[in-house]
Structure 1
Amino acid sequence: MANTITRGRGTGSGSPGRRSLTAAARAAAKRAEGNRSGARDALDGVPEDLVNDRTGLPPIEKTVGNVLLTKEESDPGPDPENPDNESQAPQTPDAEVPDPEAPPRGRLRARLSAALALLTVAGLVAVAVLGWQYQDGRQVEEARAQALAAAQQAAPVVLSYDYRHLDRDFAAARGRLTGSFRAEYGRTTKAVVAPTAKKYKGVVKASVVAPPDGGAPAASVASASADSAVVLLFVNQVTKSTQVSGSRMDLNRVRMTLTRTADGWKVSAVDAL
């Protein structure tokens, strides 16, 4: 009996434990075959030089370098420092961003042209004003000199007379006068001066005071414009008549107004000061 039991255990179909091990080995082999088939399917399209000969899988460093990093470079994803921007496009440093509030170039050119035109007109006006002022200043200076010379020449003629030739003297004086003063002088000399001079044989000689050393006469321009002037003169009058023993000298200050006419500067008023 002992031999039968031993033989039956060694030559029979196998114990349940051996059968269990055999079934487990066959299941493991099928799973391994399935895994290798899945791995081959997963590696379709991967270059052969990237596949490990022993494992059948791509090396980690080559996978990261050629697949993972390339994907990250092509699509870096959101910036951790700027989470609001999902993607950031590279900015061109020299790119000009148009200002929506900036005026169009055509309008800007028009404004510049208008400003330049305005400045040009203002410059021309300024030049014209300066030129006019310069010309006017020159005319005033010429008027001062001419009026002063005319007053110095007119004073002795207008303020002098001799009873022996009154008509000649009065005519010469009227030639130095103008305007209403000329008419007034004619009436006064005819009604008052002529009868008195004839009655008392009056002779009056006037002269503008001048220094003994021959300097400029005592006359100056008080005010002047291009067409009129006021001149102050110191005038001495020496009078002789039957009413006076010898001669008498009167020292007078005279204000003479002169006006420019077509015939030159003429006296339009005489006032004793």
Structure 2
Amino acid sequence: MGTLVEFVRRPRVLWRRPARIRLVPALAVAIVLAAAVAGLGWWGDHRAGQRDAAVRQALATAPAAAKAIFSYDYRTFDDSVANGRTFATGPFGKEYEQTTAALKQTAATQQAVVAAEVSATGVVTATAQRVELLVYLNQYRRNVNTAGEKVDQNRVVLTLVPVDGEWKVAKAEAI
């Protein structure tokens, strides 16, 4: 066999791991990292798709909502307000009711007719659960104190949120 010195100096081949065995943990880590990156990419794409769908739905709702909320006719005031109320939700819905209740007497006295038309919209911010739109709104108004029709060009930021599958106005802010 040999002496103790030879045994100690002899290479210990039996204790070394083959190179391919050392690659297995590194390969496992690489696979886990690749799966995590792929999962994050899928999740980001999924959220972007939800956000884009929300924007499309809010943009489709905004013109009708703005027209209903910002228009009224003294002859059919209650119907005009009821139509506008169908597009409002939350605290804004209560604010809309209070504002229109205070406006009713003035509208009747002045025989006011206000017709709102949306000329353009643009997205300010968007998530799957909340979309803010900049709405360019023209209001054509007539009353007993005005000769002919007057046009007011307004800019409004409408915040829309989904409520029972429909997008409703949760906030309206003139800018």
What interval of TM-score do these two structures reach, taking the shorter chain for normalisation? Answer: 0.7 to 0.9
SS at structure 1 position matched to 2:152: strand
SS at structure 1 position matched to 2:148: coil
TM-score, structure 2 normalization: 0.85
Q: Rg: which structure is higher?
A: 1
Spell out, residue by residue over 1:226-251, the C-alpha distance to the aligned partner (whole angstroms, 9 max, x if none): 11111112111111112222221111
Deviation for aligned residue 1:180: 0.9
Residue aligning to 2:79: 168
Deviation for aligned residue 1:121: 1.8
Spell out, residue by residue over 1:145-183, the C-alpha distance to the aligned partner (whole angstroms, 9 max, x if none): 221121122111110011111111111111101111011
Spell out, residue by residue over 1:56-77, the C-alpha distance to the aligned partner (whole angstroms, 9 max, x if none): xxxxxxxxxxxxxxxxxxxxxx
Q: Does 1:146 align with 2:57?
A: yes
Query: What is the distance in 2 between the residues matched to 1:133 and 1:259?
Result: 21
Aligned pairs for 1:19-58 (under 5 A) are: none
Deviation for aligned residue 1:271: 1.5
When residues 251 and 108 of structure 1 are mapped into structure 2, their CA distance, relative to the original with a 3 A threshold, is same
Q: Does 1:224 align with 2:100?
A: no
Residue aligning to 1:120: 31
**Letter matched to residue 17 of structure 2:** R
**Letter matched to residue 189 of structure 1:** T
Query: What is the distance in 2 between the residues matched to 1:131 and 1:155?
Result: 36
Equivalent position to 2:162, from 227, 235, 260: 260
Q: Which ranges in structure 1 are unaligned for 5 or more consecutive residues?
A: 1-96, 210-217
Residue aligning to 2:142: 240
When residues 99 and 196 of structure 1 are mapped into structure 2, their CA distance, relative to the original with a 3 A threshold, is farther
Equivalent position to 1:205, from 107, 115, 119: 115
Paired-residue identity, % = 34
Query: What is the distance in 2 between the residues matched to 1:199 and 1:98?
Result: 111
TM-score, structure 1 normalization: 0.56
Write 1 or 2 for the structure with the bigger share of strand: 2
The size of the alignment, in residue pairs, is 167
**Letter matched to residue 224 of structure 1:** A
